[in-house]
Each structure stands twice: as C-alpha cells, then as structure tokens.
Chains A and B, each alone.
Chain A
Amino acid sequence: MTAQLTTKNVDPVTAAIRVSVPERGLRQDLRAVRIVWHRELIRWKSDRLRAVTSLVQPVLFLFVLGTGLSALAGHGLPPGISFKTFVYPGVLAMSVLFTAIFSAGSIVWDREFGFLREMLVAPVSRSAIVLGKCLGGATVATFQGVIILALAGAAGVPYNPLLFLTVIGELLLLSFTLTAFGVMMAARITQMQAFMALTQMLVMPLFFLSGALYPLSGLPAWLTVLTRFDPLTYIVSPMRHAVFSHLSVSPAAASFLAPNVTWAGWQVPVGLSLGMVAVMGAALLGIAIAEFQKTE
C-alpha cells in the first residue's frame, strides 16, 4: 500500500518509462553480435599502447632482420628484389598473428574480471557472443595488418589497389581463423599466464614452419612435410603469390620464390588453400561455440 501511495509523488515523466524487452529472435542475436564486435573496436581504440607494442615485432622482422639478411640472402634473389620484399607477406601474417590471439585471450580477462558473466546471462544465443568476439578480434587484427600494409613502399611492394584488396581479404580470413582458435582455447583456460604461455608455445612454431621467412621450394623432406601441416602456410603462400604477381620478376624466379603449396608434386590452387583456412576457421568457431554452450 505504501508503495502505491508514494509512487504518486514520483515525477510522472520518469515513472512513465515502460521498457519492454522483446522475445529472443534473430534480430536480437544480430544486435548482440554487433555490440560484442563493437566493444572490441572500442577497446582497441582506447588501448593505443597495445596497438603500438604489437607493431614492434613485425617492424623488427621487416626492417632489421630484412635489412640485415639482405646481403646474405641477396645472392639467391633476382635483381631488384630485396629480402625485405620477400619476407613482407610473412611479416604481414605475423602482424595479425599476435593481435588475433591476444584479442581472443581477452576472454580470459573477461572471465577473471566478471564481464564474461554479464554476457553469458544475457537472453541471446551464446553463438552470437562467440561470433561477435571472433569478428571483433578479426577486425582489430586486420587493422594491425593494414598498418604494416601501409609500409609496403618501404619493402619495395607497389601500392596497387587490387593487391591491397586481395591481401586485406586474406588477412581477414587469417585473423578470423586465429581468433576462433584463440577463443576455443580461452573457453578452457581460465588463467591468463597459462593462456599466454600456451599460445606463445604454439604461435612461434606456427610462424617458423609457415614459410614466412623462407621459400617453400627446395626444402629438405622433413621440413617440407612440416610446412604442409602448418595451416599458416596456406595463407602466407597465397599472400606471397599475390605480392609477386604485382612485381616485375621472371616467371622462373617467381615460381622458385613464391611457389604454390604442393602436395607430392601436385600444386594446390590458391582457392583451395584459402578454402581450407576458411573451413578450419568455421570448424574452430563451431567448437568454440559448443564450449561456451555448456552450463554448470
């Protein structure tokens, strides 16, 4: 009774706001995907330090390692092509590698600081949340790649719009797959140190076995086999292929330096390479969603 009496004293304007939350549907889920994605962007923008620090490693590889090894590696390269140009696609892959995994790792922080719970109790499907997270991580990582892409000129790569579009598309695909992988890991790992240690342990071999730093042709058999099992290979190779198709090099040099991935002599088409990465990304996303579907 008292509650009813005092309600009349409350400002009628403020008391009149009646919020009605709709039933769950596809529109709600899409709105959830969008906001989870948007949050990743807001956080990336507000965390300049992280954006800058994750540029250090690719820049070191490109300009320090790239320049330092130029004299040594120069003998194997055709005139006009520097070692920097050769490693450039590998460095692009590297620039998204860490950002994508780290973005996914923020789920571990979210769990530790409780924000994950805010998302998990919302009346939206968990798939929407996981998808939003993967798309957010992919977008942010691709931004990092685009910053390195802006340095193309310094690596002797032409500013060609078509080349850039191709490479950005490939980076997006790679970022998405990596983020999905990270989210899948983050579903099970509850401590940030453990997450960082484990991903570090996986990311470096992934990078070194991908042919980011050396051509895939003429390798000893054991290394050839390992590179073929590294998913990163199937994105670095198409990226290098795209870069070299926009350089003036002889076909022979191009097929030595930027060959398609081969399986026992059979050339894997670029479309199949990228398709495999896409399928893998979708599968990892599916596993990640299933992991977050569980209730205690």
Chain B
Amino acid sequence: MSEPVVQVTDLVKRYGEIEAVRGINFAVTAGETFGFLGPNGAGKSTTIKILCTLANPTQGSANVAGYDVVKQRDDVRRNIGLVFQDTTLDAYLTGEQNLRFHADLYGVPRQQLAPRLKQVLEMVNLWDRKDSAVSTYSGGMKRRLEIARGLLHAPRVLFLDEPTVGLDPQTRSSIWEYVNDLKQREDITIFLTTHYMDEAEHCDRIAIIDHGKIVAIDTPENLKASVGKDRVQISTADDHAAIEEIKTKFDLEAAIREGLVTFSVASGEQFVPRLFAELTQPIRSVSVARPTLDDVFMSYTGRTIRDTEATAGDRNRGMMMAMRRGR
C-alpha cells in the first residue's frame, strides 16, 4: 500500500479548558476522497486548521504530503490547496487578479501560469467571467473560484472545509459535480468536512467525529451495513404511551427524534403490519427508511445530527469564546 498522504497520530487540541480535539488517529491514502462528518463544534474545523498549519496541535502529531505540520510548515503549505467555509477572496479584485495573487504567493512558475489559469477557470466554468470583480459574483461562483484557486498550484491534497455550506441545493449539487469531475482530471487527494449526511456519500471513506473524537471510520457502504436495521418513525395520539407500549410489547427502545417516535428494527416493512395490529395507540402516520448515514451517526452517538445541531449552540459559543481568548 502506498504511503498515506495525511497521517494523524493522537492529535489533541485544547483552547484553554475546552478540548476541541481529544486524541484522534487516522490516515488518508493517495487519491482518496476522505470525509469528516460531524455536527458543528465536533472538532472538524479545528482538525483541518491543524492540518493546514493554521493552528498548532496541543499534543500528538500530523503529517501532510509527507511533511510534519509543525516542523515543515512551508513544505506542507506548498502541497495543499484550501477552500474554507467562509470566503477568502478579495472582492475588489477580479477573478483573474485573485488567482494571479495566489500564483505569486505560491510561486507558480510564470511560463506555466497562463495555461494553468485557463485550465482551472474553465474547469469551474468561470473563464468568461474572469475579468469581473468578485463582488459581482454569486455565492456559488465565489465558491467555484475558490476551488479553482485552491487547485492553481497543483496541490497534492485539497482541503474543502464545508464546501457547500450556505449554498442553495442546486448550487450544492453543481459544486459536487465539479469536485467529482476534478477527481477524474487531477491526481489529487480530497479531504473534506461536512455536516450534511447526503454529501458524505460522495466520499470513499468517512470518519464520524463527535465531541472531538472519531467514533467510526469506514466506507459509507460498510458504515450503513454496520447499522443493519431500518429506521421506523411513527406519529401517534400519545407518543409517550406509544414508547412505553413498544417497549413492553416488542422489546424495542424507541425515542422521540425530530418530533416523531423513532426506533430501529430489522426488516422494517414486515414489522409495520404487526405494529398496526398490536399497538393500542392510534397511529397517524408511519415511515420506514433504509439505513442512511444519519442512522449511522445516530447509532454511534445516540443522537441525530439535527438534534445535535439544536443543542450544540451553547457548546459552540463556549468554544468560540475560548478560541478568541486563545489568540
């Protein structure tokens, strides 16, 4: 097997008393699309910041493209491309000026610059808009320009931190088209973070991160297979009574998720007729779903990612404060 392109060993990052990353280990092989999946505040962005040399680890080590992120910072930087969740473009400059600025900072050889510039801009369909100021671009165009810029110096690893956050669904899917297209054209490893379950499906492998720890790491298929059960959600006249009844009659643990009585059971479709026959509480609606990454997340953390988002607010704020103090 080839040498891993990203290698993380016992990585810990603390901001004051808050432990954002609590000892994680993983490796990404060349050519892989590797996804970091978790709710906001789980430690995804902190990890990516360390891998991009923007933050130093408190403990542990990380290697990117064969270089240590603390000791060989410039070598790491030469070999990575970055697309952050917030834009990092100069809106006063044109698209092309932004890319030329980047090329000069990264020392892209001048004779290679013009053809490469054209290539990356055409890849993201912005060649005809290259002379417009970035302030006139839409959100999706800005993100595409950032992807083009991240690729300009032909990095070995492209980091995409929440590449589609804040974009409408149509633009989101078009961004994924560009990313998938990119995999075919360039010899590149993609490391991305997301909190959208459906987007994690684009990855070859996924690490599920929660409260600063990796709770599972595998291909999307294997992760889903590991759950094995279908998810059944029902709405009843008295949800709490229904949960009691499901417990006593079927010996299944149900809980209220997203406002519905939710439980996991093997072969959900065959179970539903029994449910209707035996449950005394009138059922208003029912849905059965094959395991998704959402269920994977739930089975490993006991919560859906949306439940987590709702309660993560406080933790996030605490962390932001700690980060600011840390500066």
Contacts and interface: CB of A to CB of B under 8 A. Distances in A.
Interface of A: 3, 6-7, 10, 14-15, 17-24, 27-28, 31-32, 34-35, 39, 42-43, 46-47, 110, 113-115, 117-124, 295-296
7 contacts: A19-B154, A20-B112, A27-B107, A39-B101, A46-B133, A120-B54, A296-B323
Given A46-B92, A121-B53, A3 B87 contact: no
A172 to B, nearest CB: 24
A260 to B, nearest CB: 43
A22 B104 CA distance: 12
A27 B104 CA distance: 11
Given A24-B74, A35-B104, A121-B52, A42 B97 contact: yes
Contact of B185 (A15, A31, A42, A114): A15
A122 B49 contact: no
A23 B54 contact: no
A113 B142 CA distance: 13
A39 B105 contact: no
Contacts of B108: 19, 21
Which among A10, A19, A119, A295 has the greatest number of chain B C-beta atoms within 10 A? A19
B327 interface: yes
B66 interface: no
Top 6 A-B pairs, shortest CB-CB distance = A35-B104, A114-B88, A123-B77, A122-B105, A19-B154, A296-B55
Contacts of A17: 112, 115-116, 119
A24 B79 CA distance: 12
Contacts of A115: 88-90
A35 B133 CA distance: 18
Contacts, number: 120
Nearest to B104: A35
Contacts of A47: 92
Contacts of A6: 184
Given A14-B119, A113-B87, A21 B56 contact: no
A39 B82 contact: no
Interface residues of B, number: 47
B93 interface: yes
Contacts of A32: 104-105
Contacts of B105: 31-32, 35, 118-119, 122-124
Contacts of A34: 104
A86 B119 CA distance: 59
Given A39-B90, A122-B105, 13 more contacts: A3-B31, A19-B109, A19-B154, A21-B78, A22-B107, A35-B101, A35-B104, A42-B93, A43-B93, A47-B92, A115-B88, A296-B49, A296-B326
B93 A19 contact: no
Interface in B70-123: 74-75, 77-79, 82, 84, 86-93, 97, 100-102, 104-109, 112, 115-116, 119, 122
A34 B91 CA distance: 20
Contacts of B184: 3, 6-7, 10
Nearest to B110: A31
Contacts of A120: 54
A164 to B, nearest CB: 31
Interface of B: 31, 49, 52-56, 74-75, 77-79, 82, 84, 86-93, 97, 100-102, 104-109, 112, 115-116, 119, 122, 133, 152-154, 183-185, 323, 326-327
A31 B84 contact: no
Contacts of B104: 31-32, 34-35
A18 B154 CA distance: 8
A49 to B, nearest CB: 12
A148 to B, nearest CB: 25
A94 B58 CA distance: 47
Contacts of B90: 39, 43, 110, 113, 115
Nearest to A25: B107
Contacts of B87: 113-114
A119 B87 CA distance: 13
Contacts of B102: 118, 122
A117 B77 CA distance: 13
Nearest to B112: A19
Contacts of A122: 77, 102, 105-106
A119 B106 CA distance: 10
A110 B101 CA distance: 14
Contacts of A22: 107, 109
A118 B74 CA distance: 14
Nearest to B324: A190
B93 A113 contact: no
Contacts of B49: 296
A296 B327 contact: yes
A10 to B, nearest CB: 6
Contacts of B52: 121
A191 to B, nearest CB: 11
A114 B74 contact: no
A63 B282 CA distance: 87
A38 to B, nearest CB: 8
A143 to B, nearest CB: 17
Contacts of B88: 113-115, 117-118
A20 B74 contact: no
B187 to A, nearest CB: 9
B294 to A, nearest CB: 28
A10 B116 CA distance: 15
A99 B323 CA distance: 32
Nearest to A29: B107
A295 B101 CA distance: 23
